[in-house]
Amino acid sequence: MQRMKSPASVVTAVIGAQWGDEGKGKLIDLLAENFDVVARACGGANAGHTIVVGGKKHVFRLLPSGCLHTNAEIVLGAGMVMHLPTLLEEIGLLRNEGMDIVPRLRISHEAHILFDFHKEIDGVLEERRSKLGKGIGTTRRGIGPAYMDKAARTGIRMEKLGEDIRGELQKRADDLHVSYGIALDAEREQKQLNDAETMLKSCVTDTIQLLHDRMYSGKRILIEGAQATLLDIDHGTYPYVTSSSTTIAGALQGLGIPPNALGEVIGVAKAYCTRVGAGEFFTEVEGSIGERLRERGGEYGSVTKRPRRCGWLHLPDLIRSAMINGFSCWNITKLDVLDTEAVIPVGMGEKNGKAIMQEFVGWKTSTVGVTAFDDLPKQAQQLVVFIEQETGIPVRYIGTGQGREEMIVR
Ligand code: IMP
């Protein structure tokens, strides 16, 4: 066995600081071409990022958005819960556009398989909670139930691909029927597994060994965080959270990468804030202002199409996320969405469940496509500097539009 010295800091991570949908994909798109490996660590098809392939927009759920960079190896880590038909669909879609990613796709043999029955349980549990007025508003993609199985040590992992698991599934049929009223279709689940095996068998591997081999040969790894810090199972707004660890620690754990390999952790936050699903949101604004933010920011769930709840930036959230993740810098996204606002409130704290706001004068002029900080209106510069001062972390990237090039890099 080779004894390993500490790897160099060859790993960069992009982590959401709010409730997801911060627009991490655009930064990843910008960074990915300089990396040899792009990796996802946790979560499953609850994530959604819009990717433009062959001039058409597609929403990817399991593949990292950096997968379009043809040289990069793609790693799906052990912390993930994998709905295989969704993965095959994404691979097929890319094939139709002339890109075969299978030769560079590596899937951890430790990752858990998310079956259709997990999705059905998710729906049943959500209905039950809703009847009690305690709905979480999950994406109904089976994430919670798949992690329930993992924690209960009854999960089925990718290493089982190719095996006949009908007997194992059948043993659960009675329980699923009694507990959730679900009729398990073991034949269908097995067929999906067989279909996946045909395409993916060569992709399933020990990704820990692979990542370490790459690190020790000086290859650069980009981790794409899924969901975001305030949805973290431990540190988020529990119980209105997802079921995985969405922080940098969770990403390292999910991939089996040691902390001393970590270089930069880039925190991504919108210049305002959104949330899908239930739970606290102190700076939420409803009515015409909320609607304006939603329309200008295109704030509709990419997986569920649900209108996102919209509100103002809440600095205590950014400070807390920075504490947990040790961000080296910020990417503030979608600054241009605020272009039409006369007044821009920023949450500074809360008292008795109400946010304490500080108001900034809006710039009321277009910032779309601005690529130099000095070309931003003075009021917009002041807002960015304020974020830096309050969080103690530099803002290195500022999003100023949907296009790839519409970004200030400082
Ligand atoms: P689950 O992850 O489907 O169990 O959903 C739990 C909570 O996390 C719900 O409020 C979802 O709306 C939210 N959520 C899960 N994934 C994402 C995401 O990628 N972006 C935004 N919210 C998410």
- What is the CATH classification number for the domain harbouring 352? 3.40.440.10
Q: How many domains does the chain have?
A: 2
Give the pLDDT of residue 53. 66
Q: Whose CA is nearest to atom 8 of ligand 1?
A: 242
Rounded to the nearest angstrom, the distance between the alpha carbon of 372 and the centre of ligand 1 is: 34
Spatial separation of the C-alpha atoms in residues 396 and 269, rounded to whole Å: 12
Q: Whose CA is nearest to atom 9 of ligand 1?
A: 138
> Ligand 1 pocket by C-beta < 6 Å: which residues?
19-21, 46-48, 136-139, 141, 143-144, 227, 231, 240, 242-243, 276-277
Closest CA to 404 of 95, 94, 65, 45: 65
Answer for the pair 17, 318: CB distance below 8 angstroms, yes or no.
Answer: yes
Count of Cβ atoms closer than 10 Å to residue 21 Cβ: 27
Spatial separation of the C-alpha atoms in residues 78 and 144, rounded to whole Å: 16
Answer for the pair 395, 404: CB distance below 8 angstroms, yes or no.
Answer: no
Rounded to the nearest angstrom, the distance between the alpha carbon of 276 and the centre of ligand 1 is: 7
Closest CA to 399 of 390, 75, 376: 376
Residues 284 and 339 grouped into a single domain: yes
Residues 158 and 240 grouped into a single domain: no
Residues 193 and 215 grouped into a single domain: no
Residues 82 and 141 grouped into a single domain: no
| The ligand 1 atom nearest the CA atom of 139 | 3
Residues 90 and 219 grouped into a single domain: yes
Give the pLDDT of residue 206. 98
Answer for the pair 92, 61: CB distance below 8 angstroms, yes or no.
Answer: no
Residues 211 and 173 grouped into a single domain: no
Residues 87 and 50 grouped into a single domain: yes
Rounded to the nearest angstrom, the distance between the alpha carbon of 142 and the centre of ligand 1 is: 11
Residue whose CB lies within 8 A of the most ligand 1 atoms, among 122, 125, 134, 276, for a mutation test: 276
Give the pLDDT of residue 1. 46
Query: What does 212-236 look like in DSSP terms, one character per residue?
Result: HHHHHTT--EEEE--S-GGG-TTTS
Partner residues linked to 40 by β-bridges: 76, 224
Domain end point (choices 201, 224, 252): 201
Q: Among all chains, which residue has been given the structure tokens 């930069």? A: 264
Which one-letter DSSP state was computed for residue 347? E
Q: Would residue 312 count as lying in a domain?
A: yes
CATH number at residue 169: 1.10.300.10
| The ligand 1 atom nearest the CA atom of 231 | 8
Rounded to the nearest angstrom, the distance between the alpha carbon of 214 and the centre of ligand 1 is: 32
Q: Would residue 308 count as lying in a domain?
A: yes
Q: Whose CA is nearest to atom 5 of ligand 1?
A: 138
Mean pLDDT in the chain?
A: 94
Residues 211 and 259 grouped into a single domain: yes
Residues 158 and 253 grouped into a single domain: no
Domain end point (choices 201, 229, 257): 201
Residues 264 and 163 grouped into a single domain: no
| The ligand 1 atom nearest the CA atom of 306 | 12
Question: Catalytic residue at 118?
Answer: no
| Alpha carbon separation from 126 to 123, 177, 242, 246, 305 (Å, rounded) | 5, 17, 13, 21, 17
Rounded to the nearest angstrom, the distance between the alpha carbon of 373 and the centre of ligand 1 is: 33
Rounded to the nearest angstrom, the distance between the alpha carbon of 336 and the centre of ligand 1 is: 25
Q: Would residue 4 count as lying in a domain?
A: no
DSSP alpha helices (H): ranges in 220-314? 248-255, 287-297
Q: Whose CA is nearest to atom 10 of ligand 1?
A: 277
Residues 209 and 314 grouped into a single domain: yes
For 383, residues 6+ apart whose C-beta sits below 8 A from its C-beta are: 271, 335, 344, 346, 360
Q: Whose CA is nearest to atom 1 of ligand 1?
A: 138
Q: Which residues of 140-157 are buried (b: 16+ CB within 10 A; e: fewer)?
A: bbbbbbbbbbbeeeebbb
**Strand 343-351 and strand 354-361: pairing?**
antiparallel
Q: Would residue 273 count as lying in a domain?
A: yes
Answer for the pair 166, 186: CB distance below 8 angstroms, yes or no.
Answer: yes
| The ligand 1 atom nearest the CA atom of 141 | 3
Indicate which residue of 49, 112, 235, 314 is catalytic: 49
Q: Would residue 2 count as lying in a domain?
A: no
Residue whose CB lies within 8 A of the most ligand 1 atoms, among 59, 242, 280, for a mutation test: 242
Q: Whose CA is nearest to atom 2 of ligand 1?
A: 242
**Biggest CA-to-CA distance, the chain:** 67
Backbone dihedral angles phi then psi of residue 94, each to the nearest 5 degrees? -70, -35
Q: Whose CA is nearest to atom 19 of ligand 1?
A: 47
Domain end point (choices 151, 173, 201): 201
| Alpha carbon separation from 54 to 91, 228, 307 (Å, rounded) | 14, 29, 27
Count of Cβ atoms closer than 10 Å to residue 179 Cβ: 11
Rounded to the nearest angstrom, the distance between the alpha carbon of 60 and the centre of ligand 1 is: 15
* Amino acid present at 404: R
| The ligand 1 atom nearest the CA atom of 276 | 12
Residues 103 and 129 grouped into a single domain: no
**Intervals of the chain under pLDDT 70:** 1-9, 53-54
Domain extent, residue 59, equals 11-111+202-409
Question: Catalytic residue at 21?
Answer: yes
